[in-house]
Amino acid sequence: MESTRPKWPWIVASALILVWTIFPILWIVMLSFKRPGEVGNQKGFLPKHWTWDNYRTVFRTDLFTAALVNSIGISMIATFAGVVFATLVAYAIARLEFPGKKLILSFALAIAMFPVVSLVGPLFDLWRDLGLYDTWPGLIIPYISFALPLAIWTLSAFFREIPWEMEQAAQVDGATSWQAFRKVIVPLAAPGVFTAAILTFFFCWNDFVFGISLTSSDRARPVPAALAFFTGASQFEQPTTAICAAAVVVTVPVVVIVLAFQRRIVAGLTSGAVKG
């Protein structure tokens, strides 16, 4: 049936989607190449004079470089810890019989729906008492706990599909239990774990509420929060173009990850919804 119908509406629609999704990103890139003085005078989309100055500015601004280091460090550690915790839970849920399975899944779901802002006030107090305010662990801990639901649900959906009997089959064939685990289970589970890691990383990279509420200096402030407070190289110039350069820098890793792992991300985002 499809063959008898014209294809061009779908082609036009696809092209429109491409424009719609890429356009704002392209706009940020264009702004980042404009001279700071162009903002306010030249209102076009394209820069009149292309310049790398904004990139030089942001990499010379301690506020931004410190925030970049914070964002990378905090997100990586939180991703690693979160995925390890989620893998343990998901394994238990997929493989073991124990009371509270449903409870854990429902609890994780409840946390995914939680209004984060409601907790920020009390956490602010608690973190100050514990000395966690404005430190890396002070952000890592909330990131782990709020990224866990997504990781747990994705991974347990994934682990349910793994043919675990293969581990026993390998052992019957003479492999030790460690070999069976390493050579059979790890390669089967790795894609799921990897997908969970990408989604967790995106979550941490994207956070803003915790970033502005639980930090006060560049000791721990991540990029999104730093951007909101960024005033630029000079008090007399608009920070617009510099903010855009910084935004492009933190967007690059995201674009690379999306381009490289498109299929895995889609699978991870929809796994539970498809299989149930």
Give the nearer residue to other proteins in terms of CB position, either 115 or 187: 115
Rounded Cα–Cα distance for residues 236 and 240 (Å):
12
Query: Which two three-digit tokens encode residue 261?
Result: 């792992």
Give the nearer residue to other proteins in terms of CB position, either 79 or 154: 154
| Nearest distance from C-beta of residue 42 to other proteins, angstroms | 9
Give the nearer residue to other proteins in terms of CB position, either 66 or 144: 144
Give the nearer residue to other proteins in terms of CB position, either 66 or 207: 207
| Nearest distance from C-beta of residue 72 to other proteins, angstroms | 13
- Residue 245 has phi, psi (to 5 degrees) of -60, -45
| Nearest distance from C-beta of residue 149 to other proteins, angstroms | 3
Q: Please name the residues in contact with 71: beta carbons below 8 A apart, sequence gap of 6 or more.
A: 205, 222, 223, 224, 250
Q: Kindly state the DSSP code that residue 184 receives in the 8-state scheme.
A: I
Are 90 and 152 spatial neighbours (Cβ–Cβ below 8 Å)? Answer: yes
Find the helix or strand (DSSP H, E) in which 140 lies: helix 136-160
Query: Which residue do the tokens 């449903």 mark?
Result: 102
Rounded Cα–Cα distance for residues 130 and 137 (Å):
11
Give the nearer residue to other proteins in terms of CB position, either 123 or 233: 123
Give the nearer residue to other proteins in terms of CB position, either 66 or 222: 222
Chain-centre distance of CA 154, in angstroms? Answer: 14
| Nearest distance from C-beta of residue 60 to other proteins, angstroms | 20
| Nearest distance from C-beta of residue 188 to other proteins, angstroms | 13
Query: DSSP for 28-58?
Result: HHHHHTS-GGGTTT--SSS-SS--SHHHHHH
Query: Which two three-digit tokens encode residue 215?
Result: 């930090």
| Nearest distance from C-beta of residue 193 to other proteins, angstroms | 14
Query: Which residue do the tokens 């399975």 mark?
Result: 101
